[in-house]
């Protein structure tokens, strides 16, 4: 096998090994996580149970009359000492002691030993300050008198006008001894992340993560770890969030909290266990990949022999397939040509319809404009000449004049549709045009109860100001008609420039347009309004005007949400430079 032939199997083996290593590493990590979580659950319960045995002891002992008497009568201190000694001997607590309001121990279970707490001051300890302030306290620290670490539980005791604190010290080192004898990689860290109990000697009194200057200062003030240089202790697990994986110094660890203490319990296993397991599976996968590659090579050689025998048949099939593809392309080209022809025919028909409508509109306007004006003037004169006592004729004349004005508005639309605006196109700023249009629709907006919101922008286009104002008025009136009778509705008009185009959008929050009729709304004489309320020429006129200016009109709508009409026009050169 040549060097080039060896390369693919080797690459396949490497890929298989990498994938197997990845899958095995994830599986082993997940299994290790489950195992560590089980250990954490059991150990946390054991720690909580050990503490709960003594949690009520400060309250019970503090209620004893001998303790209360010791706060107010120095003669009762001997009885208090012996009472605390008895509780310590039979209750299992390491030490019990009573502190007065000044922070000085006045009675203790070890009153008769050289390391007695009596006479020592503990006002700097959090278990004293917490109990004096809130009634209870708890704190883990190395004893400043005995040098023995312990967990301190405290409660405030009041006797007459005197207040003190009764403290129970628990020795949790038996838990540590149990972990070490079992070879368990377990540790307990306080709320600041300092390990104070551990199954490994080299973990003791090390922070999980680097401690801040403020934390170090506070720990030094409370003498929590008297004699330990925490600032120089290397962090064990720099990334150690609760309930997540943590790594450091070749360990994979899981952490959980211990109820009512603020402590963190850590269970760890060597990371080498996972990597070794993953490496084994990677080697197996690489061997299997090499074997599969060898089998594939054999099969490939056999396939090539068969391919040689079938080459003539394949050439013939290839020729047939090529000819079939050519025919398919010819058929598709013919279909496309037919589609283009139909589109051109439809465009010509539409153009002819628009031209016919324009001619018809011009004829209608020419024939009825003057008679309508004469009728309106006659009715106005008749209304002026009515006697004051004739109250029945005036309303009928007003109704007739209203109908004539409506016909005049219709002829005005027909006139706009039937002829183009005369005169050359000019550079116009669209913002003043829109402002003028908004002023024109103000009466209608007040009647509807909606004030259109305008977001202006300085955009210049080549168009006719009057015709663009006509387009804006038509679109805004359509939006106001759409929101009429809808509580909380709104109409928004916006101007912007995007690339080489100016964009005018008119949006409303009306009922929207049925998707089935949306493509037809710009056709002449097609209206979505109630019968008799619209001629159906507004959008057709707008589209025709915009076409003269090189622009276009698009409509999007969602039933129940509203409609947006977007007008695009080519930007004039100076606006285009400003937009860019």
- In order of 125, 191, 205, 224, the CA distances from 221 in angstroms are 9, 16, 17, 8
Is position 198 within any domain? no
Tokens 């103000």 belong to which residue? 442
Is position 221 within any domain? yes
Is position 247 within any domain? no
Report yes or no: 126 and 222 within 8 Å, Cβ to Cβ: yes
Same domain, 503 and 447: yes
Is position 238 within any domain? no
Question: Which residues form the domain of 334?
Answer: 317-414
Is position 344 within any domain? yes
Q: Of the candidates 414, 434, 464, which is a domain's last residue?
A: 414
Same domain, 396 and 480: no
Same domain, 126 and 218: yes
Residue 484's φ and ψ, nearest 5 degrees, are -60, 130
pLDDT, position 107: 94
pLDDT, position 440: 83
Same domain, 159 and 43: yes
Token readout for 243 is 């309930």
Q: How many CA atoms lie within 13 A of 333 on its CB side?
A: 6
Q: How many domains does the chain have?
A: 3
Token readout for 515 is 């998707």
Is position 138 within any domain? yes
Domain of residue 554, CATH code: 3.30.565.10
Is position 255 within any domain? no
Q: Of the candidates 366, 392, 414, which is a domain's last residue?
A: 414
Same domain, 494 and 387: no
Report yes or no: 405 and 376 within 8 Å, Cβ to Cβ: yes
Exposure string for 279-318, b = 16+ CB within 10 A, e = fewer: bebbeebbeebeeebeeeeeeeeeeeeeeeeeeeeeeeee
Same domain, 341 and 290: no
pLDDT, position 418: 55
> In this structure, what DSSP letter does residue 450 have?
-
pLDDT, position 129: 94
Token readout for 370 is 């003057």
Report yes or no: 507 and 563 within 8 Å, Cβ to Cβ: yes
Same domain, 355 and 432: no
Residues 6 or more apart in contact with residue 125 via CB below 8 angstroms: 139, 141, 152, 222, 223
Is position 354 within any domain? yes
Q: What is the pLDDT along the chain (580 residues), one digit of tens a residue?
A: 555 667 777 776 677 777 767 776 677 667 777 877 888 888 888 888 888 888 888 999 899 999 999 999 999 999 999 999 998 888 777 899 999 999 999 999 999 988 899 999 999 999 999 999 999 999 988 888 888 888 999 999 999 899 999 999 988 888 888 888 877 788 898 888 898 888 888 888 888 888 888 988 988 888 888 888 888 888 887 665 544 555 555 677 788 888 888 888 888 877 766 667 667 776 786 777 677 777 777 787 788 778 777 877 777 777 878 888 888 888 888 888 787 777 656 655 555 556 566 666 666 766 676 787 778 778 777 778 777 777 777 777 777 777 777 676 666 656 655 555 544 688 999 999 999 889 888 888 898 888 899 999 989 999 988 888 889 998 998 888 888 888 888 999 999 998 899 999 999 988 888 888 777 777 776 676 654 555 667 778 888 888 888 999 999 988 888 899 999 999 987 544 544 5
Domain of residue 98, CATH code: 3.30.450.20
Q: Of the candidates 365, 395, 414, which is a domain's last residue?
A: 414
pLDDT, position 354: 60
Same domain, 405 and 430: no
Rounded Cα gap, residues 309 and 299, in angstroms: 16
Report yes or no: 96 and 169 within 8 Å, Cβ to Cβ: yes
Same domain, 348 and 493: no
Token readout for 117 is 């707490």
Same domain, 476 and 407: no
Same domain, 64 and 107: yes
Rounded Cα gap, residues 130 and 151, in angstroms: 14
Same domain, 290 and 330: no
């Amino acid at each position: 096998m040549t060097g080039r032939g060896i390369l693919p199997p080797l690459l396949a083996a490497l890929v298989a090994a990498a994938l197997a290593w990845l899958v095995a590493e994830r599986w082993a990590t997940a299994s290790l996580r489950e195992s560590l979580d089980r250990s954490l659950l059991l150990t946390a319960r054991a720690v909580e149970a050990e503490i709960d045995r003594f949690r009520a002891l400060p309250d019970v002992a503090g209620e004893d009359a001998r303790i209360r008497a010791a706060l107010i009568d120095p003669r009762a201190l001997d009885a208090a000492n012996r009472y605390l000694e008895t509780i310590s001997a039979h209750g299992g607590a390491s030490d019990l002691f009573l502190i007065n309001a000044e922070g000085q121990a006045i009675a203790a279970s070890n009153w008769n030993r050289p390391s007695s707490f009596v006479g020592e001051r503990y006002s700097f300890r959090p278990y004293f300050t917490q109990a004096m302030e809130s009634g209870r306290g708890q704190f883990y620290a190395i004893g400043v008198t005995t040098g023995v670490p312990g967990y301190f539980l405290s409660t405030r005791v009041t006797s007459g006008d005197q207040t003190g604190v009764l403290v129970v010290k628990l020795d949790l080192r038996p838990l540590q001894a149990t972990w070490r004898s079992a070879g368990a990689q377990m540790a307990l860290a306080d709320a600041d992340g300092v390990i104070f109990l551990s199954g490994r000697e080299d973990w003791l009194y090390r922070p999980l993560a680097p401690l801040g200057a403020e934390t170090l200062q506070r720990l030094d003030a409370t003498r929590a770890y008297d004699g330990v240089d925490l600032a120089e202790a290397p962090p064990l697990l720099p990334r150690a969030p609760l309930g997540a994986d943590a790594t450091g110094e070749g360990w994979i660890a899981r952490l959980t909290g211990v109820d009512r203490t603020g402590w963190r319990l850590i269970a760890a296993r060597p990371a080498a266990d996972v990597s070794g397991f993953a490496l084994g599976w990677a080697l197996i996968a690489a061997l299997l990949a090499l074997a599969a590659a060898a089998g594939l090579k054999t099969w490939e050689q056999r396939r090539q022999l068969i391919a040689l025998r079938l080459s003539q048949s394949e050439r013939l099939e290839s020729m047939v397939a090529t000819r079939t593809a050519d025919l398919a392309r010819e058929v598709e080209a013919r279909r496309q040509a037919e589609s283009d022809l139909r589109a051109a025919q439809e465009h010509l028909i539409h153009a002819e319809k628009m031209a016919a409508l324009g001619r018809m509109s011009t004829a209608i306007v020419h024939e009825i404009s003057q008679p309508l004006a004469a009728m309106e003037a006659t009715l106005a004169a008749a209304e002026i000449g009515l006697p004051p006592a004739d109250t029945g004729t005036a309303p009928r004349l007003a109704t007739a004049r209203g109908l004539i004005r409506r016909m005049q508005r219709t002829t005005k639309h027909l006139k706009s549709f039937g002829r183009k605006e005369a005169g050359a196109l000019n550079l116009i700023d669209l913002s003043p045009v829109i402002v003028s249009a908004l002023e024109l629709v103000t009466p209608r907006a007040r009647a509807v109860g909606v004030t259109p919101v305008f977001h202006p922008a300085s955009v210049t286009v080549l168009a006719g100001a009057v015709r663009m104002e006509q387009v804006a008025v038509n679109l805004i009136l359509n939006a106001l008609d759409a929101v009429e009778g809808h509580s909380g509705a709104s109409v928004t008009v916006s101007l912007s420039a995007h690339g080489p185009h100016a964009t005018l959008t008119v949006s409303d929050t009306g009922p929207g347009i049925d998707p089935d009729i949306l493509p037809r709304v710009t056709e002449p004489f097609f209206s979505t309004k109630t019968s008799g309320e619209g001629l159906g020429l507004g959008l057709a006129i707008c589209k025709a005007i915009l076409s003269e200016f090189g622009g276009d009109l698009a409509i999007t709508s969602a039933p129940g949400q509203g409609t947006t009409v977007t007008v695009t026009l080519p930007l004039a050169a100076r606006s285009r430079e400003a937009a860019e």
